[in-house]
Copies of this chain bind each other. A is one copy, B any other.
Amino acid sequence: NTYRIAAIAGDGIGKEVMPEGLRALRTAADRYGFGVEVTEFDYASADYYLEHGQMLPDGWFEELRGFDAIFFGAVGWPDVVPDHVSLWGSLLQFRRHFDQYVNLRPVRLLPGITSPLAGRKPGDVDFYVVRENTEGEYSSVGGRMFEGTDRETVIQDTVMTRTGVDRILKYAFELARKREKKHLTSATKSNGISITMPYWDERVEAMAAGYEDVRTDKFHIDILCANFVLHPDWFDVVVASNLFGDILSDLGPACTGTIGVAPSGNINPDRTFPSLFEPVHGSAPDIAGKGIANPVGQIWSASMMLEHLGEPEAAAAILSAIESVLAAGGDTLTRDLGGTGTTASLGEAIASTIRG
């Protein structure tokens, strides 16, 4: 069995953590007896944009659609391309055109990582954020009127469809049903956002009727963010719209110590197109080029990718290698984790643990 992987490193520390992600991936493949055939692409980057005036080649869709998965680093280099241009010109196109409607992000306190929350230890925080990934607040519908005058008015639509809302809710309820706690929390703001969010609530209620074994509750996004800090142990599966999911899946990892280690899957559950796996962190211009970026988010993303591809043993081996290297601590760790190591030293330590 050989999986065809498209590797897109992108910008900044994306280029530095990608080799470590690939190292873990290949090591796991060797150990568990399957193949990976990796093709690297240099687009979805500021360098590519500088040369071509666009983030992606015209034929990207046809070129990438045949791969089994896309392994992605990070995109964004605001000194060269405004963020909304680079993101809408690449990552957000992949999510939309490959219909990766689930953005799945585990929030888990790992051994060896100090939580900024007082007194929390591994096991206390262990949940998933299930984020809608194709519609909602991330629309490209809207515009500007009376430009440059005192009457200037800018409008942008949030768009929710029954198809879009129901399929993400279904995914989240199915996930909750499979877990021990069987608990789903919906992120809403129906008291203030008075048209789309009451609709979201309605659909949650309708879907919940089919999942009586799942305990369902909801919080407005403001108090939900507060509760991530005050009561992270309350959560099991949290389902949210595109924007709210974006916020919660940075805040959650922050509560578990660092967003540097958090992974994510942009998943097309129907498998009509490839899914995309990437760390939650961005391109981090402030530390790029120094070889000190933490590669764990990228490596953990490789684990999620293998899970999705149907290699659960290899996926588990990568995650457990991450956990044991972090728990052991010491100099190989990167500075953000209290070590003195580099991207490569931490990546190599994890790979050699996978090797066994």
Binding site for B on A (CB under 8 A): 76, 82-84, 86-88, 92, 114-119, 137-138, 140, 142-144, 149-163, 189-199, 221-223, 225-227, 229-230, 242-243, 246-247, 249-251, 253-255, 258-259, 282
Instruction: Contact check, A225 vs B243: say whether CB atoms are below 8 A apart.
Output: no
Query: CA separation between A121 and B45, bound complex, in Å?
Result: 42
Query: CA separation between A208 and B223, bound complex, in Å?
Result: 31
In the assembled complex, the CB of A106 is this many whole angstroms from the nearest CB of chain B, namely: 16
Copies of this chain, complex-wide, total 2
Instruction: Contact check, A229 vs B229: say whether CB atoms are below 8 A apart.
Output: yes
10 inter-chain pairs at a CB distance below 8 angstroms, sorted by A residue, are: A82-B198, A84-B190, A84-B197, A84-B198, A142-B157, A151-B161, A155-B159, A155-B160, A222-B250, A251-B251
**In the complex, chain B residues whose CB is within 8 Å of the CB of A116:** 117-118, 229-230
**In the complex, chain B residues whose CB is within 8 Å of the CB of A117:** 116-118, 229
Query: CA separation between A196 and B119, bound complex, in Å?
Result: 40
Instruction: Contact check, A156 vs B154: say whether CB atoms are below 8 A apart.
Output: no
In the assembled complex, the CB of A132 is this many whole angstroms from the nearest CB of chain B, namely: 13
In the assembled complex, the CB of A232 is this many whole angstroms from the nearest CB of chain B, namely: 9
In the assembled complex, the CB of A337 is this many whole angstroms from the nearest CB of chain B, namely: 14
Using CB atoms, name the residue of chain B closest to A83.
Answer: B191
Q: A144-B199, A150-B163, A195-B155 are in contact. Are A246 and B222 (CB under 8 A)?
A: yes
**In the complex, chain B residues whose CB is within 8 Å of the CB of A92:** 192
CB-based closest 7 A-B pairs: A226-B254, A83-B191, A222-B250, A152-B162, A156-B195, A142-B195, A118-B118
Using CB atoms, name the residue of chain B closest to A119.
Answer: B118
Among A156, A189, A246: residue with most chain B CB under 10 A? A156
In the assembled complex, the CB of A110 is this many whole angstroms from the nearest CB of chain B, namely: 16
Q: A222-B247, A225-B250, A251-B225 are in contact. Are A195 and B140 (CB under 8 A)?
A: yes
Of B162, B243, B254, the residue contacting A230 (CB under 8 A) is B254
Query: CA separation between A225 and B243, bound complex, in Å?
Result: 13
**In the complex, chain B residues whose CB is within 8 Å of the CB of A157:** 142, 155-158
Of B88, B154, B195, B223, the residue contacting A196 (CB under 8 A) is B154
Of B76, B86, B192, the residue contacting A138 (CB under 8 A) is B192
**In the complex, chain B residues whose CB is within 8 Å of the CB of A282:** 223
Q: A87-B191, A195-B143, A230-B254 are in contact. Are A162 and B151 (CB under 8 A)?
A: yes
In the assembled complex, the CB of A258 is this many whole angstroms from the nearest CB of chain B, namely: 8
Query: CA separation between A160 and B251, bound complex, in Å?
Result: 26
Instruction: Contact check, B226 vs A156: say whether CB atoms are below 8 A apart.
Output: no
Query: CA separation between A119 and B118, bound complex, in Å?
Result: 8
Query: CA separation between A151 and B162, bound complex, in Å?
Result: 7
Query: CA separation between A172 and B230, bound complex, in Å?
Result: 28
Of B140, B163, B221, B229, the residue contacting A255 (CB under 8 A) is B229
